[in-house]
Amino acid sequence: MAYLERDGVAIYYEVNGPTNDAGRVPLLLSHGYSATADMWKSNLPALSADRQVISWDVRGHGRSGSPEEQSLYTEALSVDDMAGILDACDAEKAVIGGLSLGGYLSLAFNLRYSERVVALVLCDTGPGYRKDEARNGWNAMAAKWADGFDRKGFEAMGSGAEVRAAQHTSAAGLARAARGILTQFDSRVIDSLSTISVPTLVLVGADDKAFLGAADMMAAKIPGATKAVIEGAGHAANIDQPEAFDKALLAFLDSL
């Protein structure tokens, strides 16, 4: 485990597997909202057998810092946190992947740092919204989650498998992360799908009904994308069916 200091905010990350000079490009994995890097624990033995795997806690989550200033929670800062972690690991380029919020941040990272992206892994996630009405609905949901953490503390935690695997230190940090990182303000990420030029795996649990449509759309819009559907899995496909998830992801990585 290690910490990266980013303008006074400690960002937790951990590295598993061989050194990044072992001949395979590292894999950077980002977790979903209100989860932590611990959501990948069951996958690490397989994924890091011959590749460096880097996972981290988004600011406001888990072992990372939870500053009081709301302005320190943004998508842009989170994307720069990812770049800073790669720098700390001496990784010029990486496969960038994540689940849910982590998948969206991976797309945002590709938009900002495309020269550092070898491939994308988008798990049970969506690319945002082109229409204001749909985006406003998403932001209202994020605000509701934030208000819940403000009122109830950790009692407002969800029940998803990835969330149950997490331990947090600040409910206020989770509320600020919802307001500043989870919310969206434009359509630039979804508009970028057709411009993605790296191999992309779109992976979704067969029972993750909220994201099946998004998975289909991303697979259709991203040039040359591969789609994998994990049977018997919900939103946390990597936890619900770890062996099937690992098999699909490793097959994709081996094809690079």
3-state secondary structure of 183: coil
Least confident of 19-23, 30-34, 158-162: 19-23
Per the structure block, which two tokens stand in for 11? 């960002």
Q: Output the average pLDDT for the chain.
A: 96
Give the model confidence (pLDDT) of 61-107 as tens digits: 999 999 999 999 999 999 999 999 999 999 999 999 999 999 999 99
With bands split at pLDDT 50, 70 and 90, how would you rate the model's confidence at 22?
A: low
* Domain topology for 2-254: Rossmann fold (3.40.50)
Determine the Cα–Cα distance for residues 165 and 55; give it in Å rounded to an integer. 14
When pLDDT is cut at 50, 70 and 90, the band that residue 20 belongs to is: low
Average pLDDT for 17-40? 91
Buried b (16+ CB within 10 A) or exposed e, 118-147: bbbbbbbbbbbbeeeeebeeebeebeebbe
Domain assignments of the chain as residue spans, ordered by start: 2-254
Burial class from Cβ neighbours inside 10 Å (0-12, 13-18, 19+) for residue 68 reads exposed
Q: What is the pLDDT of residue 1?
A: 78
Span 209-235, average pLDDT:
98
pLDDT-based confidence at residue 159 (cuts at 50, 70, 90): confident
Instruction: Choose among 46, 43, 51, 58: nearest CA to 27.
Output: 51
- Residue 23's pLDDT is 74
In this predicted model, what pLDDT tens digit does every residue of 112-135 receive, in sequence order? 999 999 999 999 999 999 999 999
Please say if the pLDDT value at position 54 is more than 90: yes
Query: What one-character DSSP code corresponds to residue 43?
Result: T
Bridge partners, 227 (sequence order)? 202
pTM: 0.97
How would residue 21 be classed by pLDDT, with cut points 50, 70 and 90? low
Residue 209 has pLDDT above 70, yes or no: yes
CA distances from 30 to 1, 140, 141, 170 (A): 15, 23, 21, 19
Reply yes or no on whether the pLDDT at 19 is more than 80. no
Please tell me the distance from the alpha carbon of residue 229 to that of residue 217, in angstroms, as a whole number.
14
